[in-house]
């Protein structure tokens, strides 16, 4: 999880300030802090807007992770969440029907849903979804194989005329089954992809969709323009609603995750940490002084604690954890 700016004018808090906020939270959370320590914290908190933004970020993460850890009966909480999901799933089906009648087309429906409903709700009510740290393998009715990555969600729409996947959040690797009569389509808020008998990976984030093709080819068509492009095996491309980037080489990492492996080939530690955040609840940060250290190797995505130990043994860094859900990588010097 990465801190977001609190407004359009204020940047995200720095790593150093976030670390200070976490240290203060660790001192104050058990209620045993002296009046002197509380006064020092208040002085720190009100010394800068950046401090307040960092403190809010720490509190937000704490609230997000506390319920299942502190509830009297975790099974009761899980049951309540499951019932809530069932109600939302039924409601989503009603909304989809109404939207389809109003929009008059598939792309109109997708646009309506993405603009009117929060991304978190779309993910929570999706046909298939994974929580942070979990991966799933799915076999669709036509024999198509899907690998759904961590914190991901998608909907499946099959009809007599098409096979369509709507990626709501995260990442999916697809190996399509042959069907001469029905095209295989993948939609994101940025546009539509049409598989031409292929194996490919689709990774969605807020700014763009990334497509890596490993066999066959995939045609991209952007959502708000008539721009289209065919991406062939061994190629990668990114696109947003209006444009498609130039081709690059398909990355090994976007295929290796289906085997539970994070591949790092001379990439900055900052990028490795950014990828690990997707598989680890809570905060994972890296100090600016070590963020550009180059990382090589293959790491097990299902055990992020082990990955951090491996990184600390290979690089001049140490792992700091002032709170169970707050981890940072600092210089060992």
Q: Where are the domains of the chain?
A: 15-70, 89-253, 260-331
β-pair type (184-188, 163-175):
parallel
Are 221 and 227 spatial neighbours (Cβ–Cβ below 8 Å)?
A: yes
How many Å is the maximal CA-CA distance in the chain?
A: 74
Q: Residue 289 and residue 315: Cα distance in Å, rounded?
A: 12
Long-range contact pairs involving 128-131 (C-beta distance under 8 Å, separation at least 24):
128/153, 128/154, 128/155, 128/156, 129/153, 129/154, 129/169, 130/170
Q: Which residues pair with 163 in a beta bridge?
A: 158, 184
How far apart (Å, rounded) are the C-alpha atoms in residues 26 and 29? 6
For residues 182 and 161, is the Cβ–Cβ distance under 8 A? yes
**How confident is the model at residue 306, as a pLDDT?**
96
pLDDT, residue 63, reads: 77
pLDDT at 125: 79
**Locus of tokens 């801190």:** 3
- DSSP state, residue 311: H
Res 305: pLDDT: 95
Query: What is d(CA 22, CA 322) in angstroms, rounded to the nearest whole number?
Result: 7
Token reading at 64: 């997000």
Give SS3 for 179.
Answer: coil
Fold held by 89-253: Jelly Rolls (2.60.120)
E strands present in 121-179 = 128-129, 136-139, 145-148, 153-158, 163-175
If 0-12 CB within 10 Å is exposed, 13-18 middle and 19+ buried, where does residue 66 land?
exposed
- The single residue listed with the structure tokens 């802090």 is 33
Mean pLDDT, consecutive 10-residue segments, the chain of 333 residues? Answer: 49 84 82 84 89 86 60 42 42 44 43 46 79 95 96 95 96 96 96 94 95 97 91 96 93 93 95 95 94 96 95 96 92 89
Tokens of 133: 């740290």
CA 197 to chain centre: 27
Residue 123 tokens read as 């993910």
**Amino acid 120: pLDDT:** 58
Per-residue pLDDT at 260? 94
Global confidence as pTM? 0.73
The per-residue pLDDT for 292 is 97
Q: What is the pLDDT of residue 122?
A: 64
CATH of domain 260-331: 3.55.50.30
């Amino acid at each position: 999880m990465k801190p977001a700016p609190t407004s359009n004018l204020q940047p995200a808090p720095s790593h150093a300030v976030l670390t200070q906020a976490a240290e203060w939270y660790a001192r104050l959370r058990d209620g045993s802090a002296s009046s002197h320590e509380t006064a020092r914290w208040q002085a720190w908190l009100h010394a800068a807007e950046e401090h307040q933004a960092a403190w809010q970020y720490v509190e937000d993460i704490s609230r997000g992770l506390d319920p299942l850890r502190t509830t009297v009966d975790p099974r009761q909480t899980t049951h309540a969440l499951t019932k809530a999901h069932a109600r939302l799933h039924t409601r989503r089906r009603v909304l989809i029907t109404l939207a389809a009648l109003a929009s008059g087309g598939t792309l109109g429906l997708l646009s309506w849903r993405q603009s009117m409903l929060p991304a978190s709700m779309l993910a929570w009510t999706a046909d298939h979804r994974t929580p942070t740290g979990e991966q799933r393998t799915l076999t669709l009715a036509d024999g198509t194989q899907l690998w759904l990555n961590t914190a991901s969600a998608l909907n499946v729409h099959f009809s007599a005329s098409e096979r369509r996947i709507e990626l709501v959040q995260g990442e999916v690797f697809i190996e399509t089954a042959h069907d001469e009569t029905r095209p295989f389509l993948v939609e994101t808020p940025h546009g539509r992809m049409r598989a031409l008998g292929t194996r490919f990976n689709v990774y969605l984030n807020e700014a763009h969709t990334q497509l890596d093709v490993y066999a066959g080819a995939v045609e991209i068509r952007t959502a708000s323009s008539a721009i289209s492009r065919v991406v062939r095996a061994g190629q990668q491309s990114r696109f947003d609603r209006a444009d498609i980037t130039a081709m690059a080489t398909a990355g090994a990492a976007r295929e290796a995750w289906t085997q539970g492996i994070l591949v790092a080939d001379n990439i900055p530690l900052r990028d490795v940490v950014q990828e690990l955040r997707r598989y680890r609840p809570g905060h994972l940060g890296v100090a600016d002084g070590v963020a550009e250290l180059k990382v090589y190797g293959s790491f097990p995505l299902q055990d992020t604690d082990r990955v951090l130990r491996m990184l600390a043994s290979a690089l001049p860094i140490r792992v700091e954890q002032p709170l169970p859900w707050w981890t940072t990588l600092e210089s060992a010097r």
